[in-house]
Structure 1
């Protein structure tokens, strides 16, 4: 699964004045409280956005196990395309017609759905009976304004993937831990191997580690200030521009992701900032095919704060607030995210669990799960704003201009901040 702001770039500005029809429904499931889980009955619909060919069979099999455990509940399983599910769900929730009871939701959409009252708060429900086992990064993605709106299902983040053979040839014994080391290592690799150090992805999701590493972010909800053009953000993007100018292969802006992947997996660049979703593709290339041990994993380099940080990605299970059967929906969300289910999902799909107990020896025999397990400690959620997806659109436009040298870093970020102001009523530009 490809992840990045290619997802967010498709999101248009949010209409904050919209009233969620789903929010006006209490759900008939709340009218009477069953005595026990075994008393709960009825049919619920589950929208699964996993890959239809490689991942969906695992989820379908788990649904069968759920129905066997709760024979009075029938689940209408539907696999919905990840690229279209956001608008499809918004339309259904807004009109109150055709929305699923449970939906696999990208973590970046939780604040927006919650602010529109499309999804139900889960605190104190059967969906969230045990949160102590969840790793903190994924659990933080479920929060909005002090309430919990999702159950962590699968997770990911960005890390540094590198070609060990090229490192060895360049005389580099360990991956870089700072961006200055990243640039210096790229210079050594180029001199010793003729291969560029990296391929800069101009998608702004991949800019987030540099922003976080300087203590920067898009905006600050606590002070209601737009911060994308403050000194810390300018420093982060200046570093990104330096990496692009000194260390990157030539970027094809029309097809950057595919070209980035091809150059790395075929050994034509030495390092990438990437996520675990890319590994199954990486190991098909000439640099790693039959030699998966050549693929190295490390945390992203740190900025001047000295702390390596990357955005938490993945999916949470959410429950439609207008569901006619909330009790059954809560049970399904809990079952699909329990430790046993997460172990099954991890072993069969290669995605990272969100529960500590799910990282069993059997699960971590998968190299990418083992490689990213410690990297997940660097993960932190994106700023919890309903408009966060929309903010990436103007930032993306300006970031490309900055990389291409059409505007200065400060001018580009100032322009993005002004566009942010149109999407964030009541916010000032810091």
Structure 2
């Protein structure tokens, strides 16, 4: 993963409006895309648009296609990897030519899915088989199937934490801060690394919403003038922890100099102790350890430091969802690829990710979570549209790095203000936007 190019301000709004109004040539049929009962009967050439430039360039996706052809010999799969995936696909969606299979761009409004994508089945039917179905569900139909999911937490170097005398996962923010202080006092490692400069890692903190209270519907409950950053609220707990880490001198000295790619080796070698990321990062950190001669088994993953009834909870968030272009002339072959890739490719296991297929086991990378009875919660997306409307109107950006960069800057004294003043301003803006939107 790397920093994604994004549109901002009016340009972003224009891009979203353009995407929402495009692809209108011919009304979608609403007919479900189904793969042939006999895989050998699927035929045609399909183009798959993907953001995984790395896997296309190194030949990995070609290997998947070759494996797919063992059971689907009449389907030719072509890949097109896009560096600025979101931006380029939004432009293409002004036409009918946006591949046969594609990852659903974040900018496309959920209610517009039927205009751009072919239904893959009913919510009830696919929800029983796959995780994350409600993410792409509109009026009882599912329009995309997740490539995989990710759990949220902290990647950490076990050897460094042991050297600091911490062998148990912290169960409260106070214990977590105490552990970082021990790392600072007893080791040479930077206790916590913000990845401030690359910015996008800061968005992972929003994926903890629900982990604090063990509530899968926690994000839905943000819809309305509910003061999300009030004392005792989940976002107050989450953002206060980040602020106190930086304010307490437990992060790198100069956040403006952080480097994502370099940070992998730093954590693997024990020069950094802890980073907040999704579980997808575990394999990358362990690979970095192997390359540097460090022990990959030293890379651990722990849940957010909060418990409910003595149990940790970890939110599961979906990655991109594969969909079939509503204008595709090869819908059956496209659906055959999605089904195979989801269920038989082994992609999620190789990525160390949570499988979309409910019957598949959790990856080895989450073995510690499974062994310690961490409760996995699939985040509800029932009111995502309403929450996003308020968030956009408030110009906060729960899933953007900007406001947490400002939080970090405030904590380190680069901006004026304090924690409670900062959070109170977020509440004010959120509530005013919610009232204006009638939420």
CA contact (8 A) 1:266 1:286 kept: no
* Aligned CA distance change for structure 1 residues 334 and 34 (closer, same or farther; 3 Å): closer
Q: Which has the higher relative contact order, 1 or 2, with Cα contacts under 8 A spaced 6 or more apart?
A: 1
- Residue in 1 that maps onto 2:153: 159
3-state SS in 1 of match to 2:147: strand
CA distance in 2, matches of 1:402, 1:428: 28
- Residue in 2 that maps onto 1:20: 21
Q: CA deviation at 1:100?
A: 0.8
Q: CA deviation at 1:141?
A: 3.5
CA distance in 2, matches of 1:351, 1:31: 28
1:121 equivalent among 119, 122, 135: 119
2:355 equivalent among 344, 353, 356: 353
Aligned length in residues: 410
- Residue in 2 that maps onto 1:392: 397
CA distance in 2, matches of 1:384, 1:200: 27
- Residue 365 (structure 2) pairs with residue 368 (structure 1): yes
1:321 equivalent among 306, 309, 326: 326
CA contact (8 A) 1:8 1:392 kept: no
- Residue in 1 that maps onto 2:51: 49
3-state SS in 2 of match to 1:22: coil
3-state SS in 1 of match to 2:403: helix
- Residue in 2 that maps onto 1:273: 276
3-state SS in 1 of match to 2:256: coil
CA distance in 1, matches of 2:86, 2:397: 16
- Residue 80 (structure 2) pairs with residue 79 (structure 1): yes
CA contact (8 A) 2:203 2:399 kept: no
Q: For structure 2, which runs of at least 5 residues remain unmatched after alignment?
A: none
3-state SS in 2 of match to 1:267: coil
CA distance in 1, matches of 2:435, 2:313: 32
3-state SS in 1 of match to 2:49: strand
- Residue in 2 that maps onto 1:103: 102
CA contact (8 A) 2:170 2:176 kept: yes
CA distance in 2, matches of 1:33, 1:133: 15
CA distance in 1, matches of 2:210, 2:102: 29
CA contact (8 A) 2:150 2:278 kept: yes
CA contact (8 A) 1:157 1:376 kept: no
2:302 equivalent among 298, 301, 315: 298
1:195 equivalent among 177, 189, 209: 189
Compute the TM-score of the two structures, normalised by the length of structure 2: 0.74
Q: CA deviation at 1:248?
A: 2.2
CA distance in 1, matches of 2:4, 2:263: 17
Q: CA deviation at 1:379?
A: 5.5
1:240 equivalent among 242, 257, 261: 242
Residue range with higher mean Cα deviation, 247-256 or 374-383: 374-383
CA distance in 2, matches of 1:316, 1:40: 22
CA distance in 2, matches of 1:168, 1:9: 40
Q: Deviations over 1:218-271 (max 9, x none)?
A: 975885447554442334322321122223232423535346445423312322
RMSD: 4.4
3-state SS in 1 of match to 2:84: helix
CA contact (8 A) 2:103 2:322 kept: yes
CA distance in 1, matches of 2:263, 2:36: 55
CA distance in 2, matches of 1:109, 1:197: 36
CA distance in 1, matches of 2:220, 2:351: 36
3-state SS in 2 of match to 1:377: strand
CA distance in 1, matches of 2:163, 2:361: 34
CA distance in 2, matches of 1:199, 1:32: 45
1:142 equivalent among 136, 143, 147: 136
3-state SS in 1 of match to 2:54: coil
- Residue 418 (structure 2) pairs with residue 408 (structure 1): yes
CA distance in 2, matches of 1:219, 1:35: 38
Q: CA deviation at 1:208?
A: 1.6
2:317 equivalent among 298, 304, 312: 312
CA distance in 1, matches of 2:137, 2:33: 27
Q: CA deviation at 1:43?
A: 3.2
Q: For structure 1, which runs of at least 5 residues remain unmatched after alignment?
A: none
3-state SS in 2 of match to 1:189: helix
* Aligned CA distance change for structure 1 residues 332 and 419 (closer, same or farther; 3 Å): farther
* Aligned CA distance change for structure 1 residues 157 and 214 (closer, same or farther; 3 Å): closer
Q: CA deviation at 1:293?
A: 1.9
